[in-house]
A and B are shown apart, each in its own frame.
Chain A
Amino acid sequence: MTPTPSRRITRLVMYCLLFFMAIFYLLPVYVLLVTGLKSFAEVDLQRMWALPTGIYFDNFLAAYQKLAPNLWNSLRMVVPAALISSVVGSVNGYVFSKWKFRFSEIIFTLLLFGMFIPYQSILIPLVQFMEWIGLRGSITGLVMVHVVYGIAITTLIFRNYYAGVPTEVLEAGRMDGAGLFGLYRYIVFPLSIPAFVVVLIWQFTQAYNDFLFAVVLTNNRTWPVTVALNNLAGSQIVQWNVQMAGALITALPTLLVYIFLGRFFLRGLMAGALKG
């Protein structure tokens, strides 16, 4: 295809459109950054688009002071939740793809439904239940909830992934005398590192970004960072610039995951569209 003048103009227009749209997506990031880096003295709503005169960390320090314990709560909750979820999902996915049994498709579909329900429809029994087993308000309780409501998506991702492992490979292993656990241990598990990465990242972001479960199941000592940030934003005392710095701090962990492991993140996302 030789670039004709008209083709060149179309290209130019397309680049303009791409840039224009990029501005829309980056606008909030720009405001977050310039506001965060200003000194307290130059923070002014009427000058919110102006660049800072230097680099100051006043806002970040103020926000970090308020959010640090909650950030820590979030990490203490998210890491075990992601790890346990990935193990559960892997085992389930293995059985649903390689050990199909009668009604397994129907059971799998019933499991998947849990992925879509509005959690308001189970919230009251959930709170009563957590109260009853004494885990309401604790981080352990929140971990458990994320693992349980993550069963559907993690099973789905692993099942779709294992569907790509040829049955012949497992047959060969079976000939060699491997059973349910042997096949998993020596054939399936070593192949599933990419799926583990996808699920770990997915569950990490889901649990970290969650607000609903956190706000009803934790208390002021165990609030994860999303709840704390929302309280910060609702407060009349906290300046808007500190709120912005807090928002950036809150966004940072998942943003870093996206920047460095974006490919895997996208795959988890696509699994949500079922036909992965």
Chain B
Amino acid sequence: MTASSPASVPRRRTPLGRDRLLAIGLLLPSLAATAIFVYGFIGWSIRVSLSKWTGMLPDYTFVGLRQYLDLFQDRRFAIDVRNTAIFTVLFLVACLALGLFLAVLLDQRLKGENFFRSIYLFPLAISFIVTGVVWRWLMNSATGSRISGINLIFQSLHLDFLISKWHLTAPPWGIAFIVIPAVWQMSGFTMALYLGGLRAISDDLREAARVDGASEVQTYRYILLPILAPVTLSAVIILGHISLKIFDLIVAISQNNMALDVPAVYMWRTTFDGNNYGQGAAIGVLMLVTVAVLIVPYLVYSMRTEEEV
């Protein structure tokens, strides 16, 4: 509402209108920064993606959608898309299942709840690079006398059938093993979301279910889980956009292994190592479109529901 709007006619003489303008003024630096660094840069990326810029010096010669068409013909990009699809599906399913499982376990009000919760959550504080460096050694695929890492544990437990080549498994399944460290890092977050959801449900509801003769399992299955549906939606959105953008973890683990490539890594390599700026911009724009499909409906939905409150 602006100062001239009749609804805000002040009953007493206060400089409310001036303060309102000042308030908007306070926002201006942030709004300008976002306008430039987010929307302006996205626009400029789109422009670059429509150019033939290859090499150190900018070349904005307009080539239409050629960079995109080339990408759709590109074998490396096809591998990237496949890897992202496998990674995203497995990552989401594993995080949601493990997160829900841990949340339900911790919801039983056992002793040491805080202790276990902190253990499940701490990987979140760590950088993906650290996670990658450590898990690369844990998932060491050396065999015979040089066996080490988790394979070594399997061997000494006589569980030889579990010994794996991990992320060096033949494509397309190598990427599936990078889901393990990703889940190690992010499942605690999913657990915390679900636990928050469970704790927000009133005890009366559980009590009512018990009075009606529902078993503990039935209570979860038919009463509590359906209430948690919005939590699942939030989790899918957050984990999904992390997965579509996954970058550092892949860089740290794969160390340039093409079979484990994803769009985020391809964009970085082709732009800054290969100087294929036009192609890099096109990959960036395609990533943005994929994430936007997931995020925009969610943001609009959040805005609508918040206005109702």
Which of A's residues lie within 8 Å of B, judged by CB? Answer: 11, 14-15, 17-18, 21-22, 24-28, 31-32, 45-46, 48-49, 88, 91-92, 95-96, 99-102, 105-114, 116-126, 128-129, 148-149, 151-152, 155, 174, 177, 179-180, 205, 208-212, 215-216, 226, 229-230, 233-234, 240, 243-244, 246-247, 250-251, 254-255, 257-259, 262, 265-266, 269-270, 272-275
CA distance in complex: A243, B267 (Å): 27
Known pairs A14-B110, A211-B247; A92 contacts B30 (CB<8 A):
yes
Asked if B133 and A229 make an inter-chain contact with CB atoms under 8 angstroms apart, the answer reads yes
Known pairs A125-B44, A233-B136; A247 contacts B130 (CB<8 A):
yes
Chain B contact surface mostly = helix
Asked if A229 and B129 make an inter-chain contact with CB atoms under 8 angstroms apart, the answer reads yes
Asked if A234 and B255 make an inter-chain contact with CB atoms under 8 angstroms apart, the answer reads yes
Q: Which 3 interchain pairs have the tightest Cβ spacing?
A: A209-B127, A258-B125, A121-B288
Kindly identify which residue among A45, A112, A258, A266 contacts B148, using a CB–CB cutoff of 8 Å: A45
Known pairs A99-B23, A117-B291; A25 contacts B299 (CB<8 A):
no
CA distance in complex: A46, B152 (Å): 8
Asked if B37 and A126 make an inter-chain contact with CB atoms under 8 angstroms apart, the answer reads yes
Most buried by A among B129, B131, B193, B281: B129
Q: Please, which residue of chain B has its CB at the minimum distance from the CB of A45?
A: B148
Most buried by B among A18, A113, A152, A174: A18
Which of B's residues lie within 8 Å of A, judged by CB? Answer: 1-2, 14-16, 19-20, 22-24, 26-27, 29-31, 33-34, 37-42, 44-45, 48, 58, 102, 105-106, 108, 110, 112, 116, 118-138, 140, 142, 145-150, 152-153, 184, 188-189, 192-193, 196, 234-235, 238, 241, 244-245, 247-248, 251-252, 255-256, 263-264, 267-268, 271-272, 277, 280-281, 283-285, 287-288, 291, 295-296, 298-300, 302-303, 306-307
Asked if B108 and A148 make an inter-chain contact with CB atoms under 8 angstroms apart, the answer reads no
In the complex, chain B residues whose CB is within 8 Å of the CB of A180: 19, 22-23, 26
Kindly identify which residue among A102, A125, A255, A257 contacts B45, using a CB–CB cutoff of 8 Å: A125
In the complex, chain A residues whose CB is within 8 Å of the CB of B41: 121-122, 125-126, 129
Kindly identify which residue among A48, A111, A126, A259 contacts B30, using a CB–CB cutoff of 8 Å: A111
Kindly identify which residue among B19, B129, B285, B300 contacts A230, using a CB–CB cutoff of 8 Å: B129
In the complex, chain A residues whose CB is within 8 Å of the CB of B306: 105
Asked if A18 and B105 make an inter-chain contact with CB atoms under 8 angstroms apart, the answer reads yes
In the complex, chain A residues whose CB is within 8 Å of the CB of B235: 273
List, sorted by A's number, 5 A–B pairs whose CB atoms are closer than 8 Å: A99-B19, A226-B129, A254-B126, A259-B122, A265-B125
Asked if B146 and A244 make an inter-chain contact with CB atoms under 8 angstroms apart, the answer reads no
Q: Please, which residue of chain B has its CB at the minimum distance from the CB of A174?
A: B14
CA distance in complex: A113, B152 (Å): 45
Given A88-B30, A118-B245, A120-B263, 10 more pairs with CB closer than 8 A: A27-B150, A48-B152, A92-B27, A95-B27, A121-B287, A226-B130, A233-B136, A233-B252, A233-B255, A240-B137
